[in-house]
Amino acid sequence: MTIQHVGLIGAGLMGHGIGKNILAKGFKLSVLAHRNRKPVEDLLAKGAKEAKSPAELAAACDMVITVVGNSTQMEDIVRRPDGLLAGLKSGGIVADCTTAQPDSTVTLAAEVAAKGGRFVDIPMTRTPKEAEAGKLGLMTGGDPATLQEIRPVLDCFADTVVYCGAVGAAHKAKLINNMLSLGYAAVTAEALTAAKKSGVDLNALRQIVTAGGANSVMFQRLAAYQIDGDNTQLQFAIANAQKDVRYFLQMAENLPVSTFVASAIHQLYAMSNAAGMGQNYVPEVIDVLTSLSDKALAKGR
């Protein structure tokens, strides 16, 4: 099958850039109606069509890309009465960008296959800036022939595509990748909070770290928030960070492997989420740590 018509579910921070670049490369695009109308309306103005349900989208399109928040949402989009399974045509492809639970992915893939369709997992790395520029990184899992078939679509919005193995393998790799990156962010947040409280010149610290082995993308993004007040370098919600590390821990339970570091990382994001910061971006966990430090100081500790 030659992919001509692509469906998109999740035209948000990441999905808008995906859809924009698919349209720019000449593919037909249909998007699902969404409560956040601004990115949807922009895609419609660029030539996309709007579907009222996942079933309608699946019936109209050769492949459907899903960019949703978690496995629970993905399962609902696939299984509900007007979901993808209800409208999926023979040979239709579901390509899931969600950071998801691998076991759920494998189960959904089997259900899609039972309806005559195909399922691949294609989770992303990088940020909305790269999504808009068409320079995302993708991990892919599933049938190699199917992935090759959809490669022209993936190349519209990604400049790095890495095959990880069978269905679910890419979602496993994504959870490990996110545990690493969110762990770097957690360590950086603690370090920058300690630096500020101890009176270290933060600009000097940034120069020292940048020139040495402790430097990382996450350090630079969190330093931009702590020093420059710029929280746009990592537009990723704390609630999603908590969810991603939780999914990693759940996956690790079945291996089994030790996860005492990941458990501590999860607690930082869980605490920040519980403090009402769930929709704030990850760099703002610094504010949670600063608040805790201030309370400890006020108690004379």
pLDDT digits (tens, 9 = 90+) for 164-194: 999 999 999 999 999 999 999 999 999 999 9
Tell me how far CA of residue 299 lies from CA of 265, 272, 291, 293, 296, in angstroms. Answer: 26, 21, 13, 10, 5
Looking at the structure, do residues 114 and 259 belong to the same domain, yes or no? no
pLDDT of residue 299: 64
Give pTM, 2 decimals: 0.94
Domain boundary among 105, 137, 167: 167
Instruction: Tell me if 299 is assigned to some domain.
Output: no
- 3-state SS, residue 249: helix
Looking at the structure, do residues 187 and 251 belong to the same domain, yes or no? yes
Across the range 118-147, mean pLDDT stands at 97
**Number of structural domains the chain divides into:** 2
Q: If pLDDT is split at 50, 70 and 90, which confidence band does 296 have? A: low
Across the range 1-15, mean pLDDT stands at 95
Q: Is it the case that residue 226 has pLDDT exceeding 60? A: yes
- C-alpha dihedral over 31, 131, 97, 81, to 10 degrees? -20
CA 236, CA 6: separation in Å to the nearest integer? 26
pLDDT of residue 35: 80
> Tokens 């990604």 correspond to what residue?
158
pLDDT of residue 114: 98
Across the range 183-207, mean pLDDT stands at 97
Instruction: Tell me if 257 is assigned to some domain.
Output: yes
Looking at the structure, do residues 191 and 99 belong to the same domain, yes or no? no
Looking at the structure, do residues 74 and 139 belong to the same domain, yes or no? yes
Instruction: Tell me if 206 is assigned to some domain.
Output: yes
CA 117, CA 113: separation in Å to the nearest integer? 5
Instruction: Tell me if 300 is assigned to some domain.
Output: no
Instruction: Tell me if 101 is assigned to some domain.
Output: yes
Domain boundary among 167, 183, 198: 167
pLDDT of residue 33: 83
Looking at the structure, do residues 16 and 72 belong to the same domain, yes or no? yes
Looking at the structure, do residues 150 and 208 belong to the same domain, yes or no? no
Looking at the structure, do residues 199 and 141 belong to the same domain, yes or no? no
Looking at the structure, do residues 249 and 146 belong to the same domain, yes or no? no
Beta strand 136-141 with 158-165 is: parallel
Looking at the structure, do residues 185 and 127 belong to the same domain, yes or no? no
Looking at the structure, do residues 103 and 243 belong to the same domain, yes or no? no
Q: What is the CATH number of the domain that holds 256?
A: 1.10.1040.10
Looking at the structure, do residues 207 and 93 belong to the same domain, yes or no? no
Instruction: Tell me if 245 is assigned to some domain.
Output: yes
Cis peptide before 256, with omega less than 30 degrees from 0? yes
Instruction: Tell me if 188 is assigned to some domain.
Output: yes
Domain range for 151 is 5-167
pLDDT of residue 111: 98
> Tokens 């630079």 correspond to what residue?
220
Domain boundary among 116, 148, 167: 167
Looking at the structure, do residues 107 and 216 belong to the same domain, yes or no? no
Q: What is the CATH number of the domain that holds 14?
A: 3.40.50.720
pLDDT of residue 301: 54
